[in-house]
Chains A and B, each alone.
Chain A
Amino acid sequence: MKIKDTPIDLNKAILQKGPKFRSHTVIFQNNVADLKPTMSSLAFCLVYIVVGLFLLALAAIVYHNKKQLDFTLFLGGVGIAILTFGITLVMPFVKQVTFDKNTGSYKNNIDRKVKLENIISLQILNKMVTSKHGLSYPCYELNMLTKNGRRINVLNHNDIDQLLSDAEKLAEFLSVELIDLRHEIIL
């Protein structure tokens, strides 16, 4: 089978959206660089879990006190939906993302493992998260490029100072070049 040569557009953001806060920081310990979720990002995700659990508890109270099945089901259904949503939000935050020099690999529990020796560069990109009925704000990605042309997102958040600092340290840790591909965005 002939493999097509498809050029990689390094300026193109991997993810369309991103949070309007610092979601992760990179922590270096011995030979390992870990992506740690920030407390505030976890706390905001927990709001959904708490609201979901509260509605489920309320459903139980309503059923216990009034035996009102329709309202119980309504509250329970909405509660489960919000709880599930909260759990799916928290999951990416609690998944371990590491660059481990001891094992020589990068793992994020989403993509397949990448050998550190195959990482050729890190790149910083900017994008504008726009929404007609919501906030519009700049957001930044730190992506890595591998020898075989894969691009994998490492960081994706709104705090450029922290992202720049993390990117520089990570590039030094991995001994790869850091390319700043931020550009003016014309709407």
Chain B
Amino acid sequence: MKTLNRYLIGIFLTILSFGAFAAEEEPSSFSALLTGVSSGVDTFFNDYLGWFVNLIFYSLPVAGTKFPLIVGWLFIAAIIFTFYFGFVQFRRSGLALGIVSGKYSDPNAKEDGEVSHFQALTTALSGTVGLGNIAGVGVAVAIGGPGATFWMIMCGLLGMASKFFECTLGVKYRTILPSGAVSGGPMYYLRDAMAERGFGGLGKVLAIGFALMCILGSFGGGNMFQANQAHAMLTYAFDVPPEYGIITGVVLAALVFSVIVGGMPSIASVTEKVVPYMAALYLGMGIIVILMNLDQIGAAFSAIFEGAFTGAGVVGGVLGALIQGLKRATFSNEAGIGSAAIAHSAVKTKEPITEGLVATLEPFIDTVVICTMTALVITIAGLNVAPFDGAGLTGVQLTAASFSDSVGIFKYFLALAVIMFAFSTMISWSYYGLKAWTYLFGEGKSMEMIFKLIFCMFVIVGATIQFGAVIDFSDAAIFAMSIFNIIGLYFLMPIVKEELASFVARVKSGEIKKYK
């Protein structure tokens, strides 16, 4: 194993040296080589995985536009969960804030290694602020116009119920693997909770389906999209040629490699500590831009509301704006996807419902607050004009251009934040993917190593690709997870309803004490 590790490091270092040398000595042939590689990989994704993308985004013609069924699938599920749990995200928001503020925690009974509620909140914040808020909003308004923002907000508000539901189940049905590692998420609740409800066979099928899609999602949206947008940001901020994405990819892959293959907790800890500051930096920049343009806020909100209900300049009109808003909001807050349930299952708590309630805050902060802020900055800058067909600036470049339109230096801070967010998201998704991988193939050093090496390879592929197929695949893989997750969630609604009722009753009776 040690020898293998050393060889791998050697290979990485050789690539690094080659990248630097080639960049200096033969820029034209190097560029041609990289463009060829990029084009080849994109063609491969298009030819061999295009069917998968088409299947996941299968669309029906509705009011003259193509409506992807998967978008309706997620939106309708969020509406049903909202009604079924009695608008838990609004009615129990006080309880959620109380849990986060430590109202229900005994200050004298803090367990070893237990994180404080403030830490839990900052972790949640840093986990939600990412490229979905920066690049995703840029894509949504570039294609869906300002009106897409309204639908993002709606999706965020409803998605709070989905997140409450899946994160509660994630904690309730987590398991301790033979190695002692804690594992949880849809794979486990689909298998175990469905069996409890008498649907064991279906549960196993759904769990396997989810795990497969989660692995693909970890390679796609959780990896390639992140690396791709990190390099796109460097291209925008510093005019780095797109074909040099391989260097960005190799550097990121080396760092990801050290964390996921080496198991170094230090860099992961540093990332966890730095990312909240990056999130604060991003929020601070957004607030500054908004404050500098206070007189345009009214007009920006008008554009958002008008666009939501007129769909002016958007391909597909209102429906087009709605589709983009819902797609990007889901990509950003991951509600209904199932990934958050994996992350939340590692938390130390005896009450699964508390984690579910805390999780409701994430789509709110992520989509309702931060995505709206990004959309306002873009709308205020006015660089995104009709027709909204994505032909102009889009994604992270549109967002960055809008920020630097008010304060030029912001593009540098944004570049730093984007790279940090991309890196931390890749680490998180490597963890989700690995959990799904070990669910399917069991724990074992060799099998885990295969996943980790493939994951690192995809970092390089993602940063290298310049064309659309990789982005389409990234989207499809993430959305595909929701198909299996939500089918199971429909069967498991009574379990969480009972759990919620019990928790609320115990809070009211004083069995669960208030300490503040």
A residues at B contact (CB < 8 Å): 12-13, 16-21, 38-41, 43-48, 50-51, 54-55, 57-58, 61, 65, 68, 70-71, 74, 78, 82, 85, 89, 127-138, 158, 185, 187
Contacts and interface: CB of A to CB of B under 8 A. Distances in A.
Nearest to B260: A135
B404 interface: no
Interface string B344-367: 101111000000000000000000
A130 to B, nearest CB: 5
Contacts, number: 147
Given A19-B263, A40-B5, A71-B240, A13 B272 contact: no
A40 B1 contact: yes
Given A17-B265, A38-B2, A48 B182 contact: no
B343 A133 contact: yes
A8 to B, nearest CB: 14
Contacts of A12: 112
A68 B412 CA distance: 14
A95 B412 CA distance: 38
Given A40-B1, A44-B264, A71-B240, A130 B182 contact: yes
Given A47-B258, A129-B265, A61 B346 contact: no
A45 B258 CA distance: 8
B20 A58 contact: yes
**A-B pairs, 4 with minimum CB distance:** A20-B263, A44-B262, A138-B180, A71-B238
Contact of A135 (B1, B24, B181, B257): B181
B270 A132 contact: no
Contacts of B13: 50
B272 A47 contact: no
B267 interface: yes
Contacts of B259: 134
B348 A74 contact: no
Interface of B: 1-2, 5-6, 9, 12-13, 16-17, 20, 23-24, 112-113, 123, 127, 174, 176, 179-183, 237-240, 247, 251, 254-255, 257-270, 272, 343-344, 346-349, 412, 415-416, 419, 424, 427-428, 431, 434
Which of B174, B346, B428 gathers the greatest number of chain A CB atoms within 10 Å?
A: B346
Contacts of A133: 123, 127, 268, 272, 343, 424, 427-428, 431
A132 B348 contact: no
A61 to B, nearest CB: 5
Nearest to A157: B263
B263 A135 contact: yes
25 contacts: A17-B265, A17-B269, A39-B6, A40-B5, A47-B9, A51-B251, A54-B251, A58-B23, A65-B24, A68-B238, A68-B239, A70-B412, A74-B237, A78-B419, A85-B267, A128-B182, A130-B182, A131-B272, A132-B127, A132-B347, A133-B431, A135-B268, A137-B181, A185-B180, A187-B349
Contact of B267 (A21, A48, A127, A187): A48
A39 B2 contact: yes
Majority secondary structure of chain B interface residues (helix, strand, loop or mixed) = helix
Given A47-B262, A127-B112, A137-B179, A132 B6 contact: no
Which of A20, A85, A136 gathers the greatest number of chain B CB atoms within 10 Å?
A: A136
Given A16-B113, A46-B9, A51-B255, A134 B428 contact: yes
Nearest to A133: B428
Contact of A43 (B9, B251, B270, B412): B9
A62 to B, nearest CB: 9
A44 to B, nearest CB: 3
B23 A47 contact: no
B262 to A, nearest CB: 3
A54 B1 CA distance: 26
Contact of A138 (B6, B179, B416): B179
Nearest to A135: B431
Contacts of B16: 50-51, 54
B421 to A, nearest CB: 12
B234 to A, nearest CB: 8
A40 B2 contact: yes
Nearest to B174: A187
A130 B348 contact: yes
Contacts of A131: 265, 268, 272, 346
A58 B248 CA distance: 11
B5 A43 contact: yes
Nearest to A45: B264
